[in-house]
């Protein structure tokens, strides 16, 4: 703002009454205020009084011009009353230009966006220059320019590899090839697909995993042979080595290399073994009880229950029930145990131990001892009696 804001002149117009006239300063001589009809063409002004509004020095405002304008006002000029700036210098904003540019902005009134500086650091708030070089894929003082074709990395100092499908064309940030030639893979297309792939030139462009495997092979690089011995279809397996069509009866797991266990057999191990002897497991494929059946069952898989005739029990009903069962000839068809207990004088699960013989033997022994003792006493008494008579 100009030091002198305006002039007010008391003027006297010749040939007419005195009146006030405003005169603007710092304008070319030809730039005049419009002249009204009542003004005489020979009218002239005589200066009566001069009033000046403003501060004697630029850069101040307020009462008695005692407050300095913000140093970030353009030209350090501000409003004489409240100190607001009409224009800020680059890098600052606000009514009094006292706020530095932030949020990755810079320049006049903070209207410009910073480029991509290294490490995500904001640029210079005045001129936009990056302090610590550029982030990958950018170049220039302000890091606002992309790398040229064929270059990548920080400040675009690295050249793209020649192995890319289009040589020297890569991602401007990472340097990875946009696409690989057929038969190559990897970030820089520097690796070759495995020759074991079903199509030697067909693999995943990132991992190198074969798209397909030849028949009988599996794995990431198709370098492992299928374990087809127990597969339903012995010619194929999936990419993990598992049997594609499932397992033959008696085998389980993805690769069909584990026998059925836990008393099971057959396709998918979904059948249960019969009543095999001694809790032995049956054959994992056929289900046959290789050690025979428990009493009361018969058949190759011990699945048929025996119905013995009265008086018989056991395997093939070849054993006779004890004749000393309480009900003669009636016993359990598997174990041979007498259902209603033993006859008097017999004991044991099968009523085969005689109680009477043991009891009779004991009675006889006691009787013999008792009789002998009485005989001795009688002999002694008779001798004493005879001696007494003779005396």
Token code pair at residue 321: 């029930």
Give the model confidence (pLDDT) of 196-237 as tens digits: 888 877 899 889 999 888 888 888 888 888 876 788 887 778
Per-residue pLDDT band for 312 (boundaries 50, 70, 90) equals confident
What is the predicted pLDDT for the residue at 29? 42
> Mean pLDDT for the chain?
80
This prediction's pTM:
0.46
In whole angstroms, what is the distance from residue 186 CA to residue 179 CA? 10
CA angle, 131 then 136 then 138, to 5°: 70
Mind listing the pLDDT tens digit for each residue in 53-92? 678 888 999 988 999 999 999 988 899 999 999 999 999 9
In the predicted structure, residue 10 carries a pLDDT above the cut 50: no
Instruction: Enter the tokens of residue 157.
Output: 């100092």
pLDDT of residue 34: 55
| Confidence class for position 340, pLDDT limits 50, 70, 90 | confident
Q: How far apart are CA 344 and CA 357, in angstroms?
A: 12
Reply yes or no on whether the pLDDT at 262 is more than 90. no
CB 229 within 8 A of CB 237: no
Percent share of the chain, pLDDT over 70 = 76
The closest alpha carbon to 197, from 182, 187, 181, 179, belongs to 182
Q: How far apart are CA 210 and CA 199, in angstroms?
A: 8
pLDDT digits (tens, 9 = 90+) for 30-48: 344 555 666 555 555 566 6
Every domain of the chain and the residues it spans? 60-100, 101-175, 180-225, 310-357
Backbone angles phi, psi at 109, to 5 degrees: 55, 20
Residue tagged 């497991």 (tokens): 281
Q: Mean pLDDT lowest for which of 136-145, 173-182, 369-378?
A: 369-378
Average pLDDT over residues 131-152: 93
Which tens digit of pLDDT belongs to each residue from 199-208?
877 899 889 9
Residue 8: HSE in the Cβ half-sphere, 13 Å Cα cutoff: 5
Decide if 100 contacts 90 (C-beta within 8 A): no
């Amino acid at each position: 703002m100009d030091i002198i804001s305006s002039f007010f002149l008391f003027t006297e117009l010749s040939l007419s009454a005195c009146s006030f006239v405003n005169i603007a300063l710092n304008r070319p001589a030809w730039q005049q205020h419009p002249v009204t009809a009542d003004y005489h063409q020979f009218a002239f002004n005589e200066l009566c009084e001069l009033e000046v509004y403003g501060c004697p020095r630029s850069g101040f405002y307020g009462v008695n011009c005692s407050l300095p304008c913000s140093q970030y006002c353009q030209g350090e000029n501000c409003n004489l009353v409240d100190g607001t700036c009409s224009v800020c210098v680059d890098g600052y904003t606000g009514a009094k230009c006292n706020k530095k540019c932030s949020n990755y902005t810079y320049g006049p009134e903070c209207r410009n966006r910073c480029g991509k500086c290294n490490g995500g650091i904001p640029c210079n708030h005045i001129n936009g220059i990056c302090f610590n070089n550029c982030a990958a894929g950018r170049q220039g003082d302000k890091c606002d320019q992309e790398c040229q074709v064929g270059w990548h990395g920080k400040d675009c100092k690295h050249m793209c590899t020649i192995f890319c499908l289009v040589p020297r064309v890569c991602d401007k940030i990472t340097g990875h090839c946009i696409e690989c030639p057929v038969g190559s893979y990897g970030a820089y297309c520097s690796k070759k697909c495995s020759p074991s792939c079903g199509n030697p030139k067909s693999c995943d462009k990132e991992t190198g995993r074969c798209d397909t495997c030849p028949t009988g092979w599996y794995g990431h690089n198709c370098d492992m042979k299928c374990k087809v011995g127990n597969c339903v279809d012995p010619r194929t397996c999936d990419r993990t080595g598992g049997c594609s069509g499932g397992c033959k009866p008696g085998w389980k797991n993805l690769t069909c290399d584990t026998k059925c266990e836990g008393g099971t057999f057959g396709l998918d191990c979904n059948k249960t073994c019969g009543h095999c002897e001694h809790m032995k497991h049956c054959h994992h494929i056929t289900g046959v009880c290789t050690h025979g059946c428990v009493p009361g069952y018969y058949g190759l898989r011990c699945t048929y229950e025996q119905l013995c005739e009265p008086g018989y029990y056991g395997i093939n009903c070849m054993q006779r029930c004890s004749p000393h069962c309480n009900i003669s000839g009636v016993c359990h068809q598997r174990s041979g145990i007498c259902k209603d207990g033993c006859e008097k004088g017999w004991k044991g699960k099968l009523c085969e131990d005689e109680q009477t013989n043991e009891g009779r033997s004991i009675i006889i022994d006691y009787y013999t001892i008792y009789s002998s003792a009485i005989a001795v006493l009688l002999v002694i008494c008779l001798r004493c009696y005879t001696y007494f008579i003779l005396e």
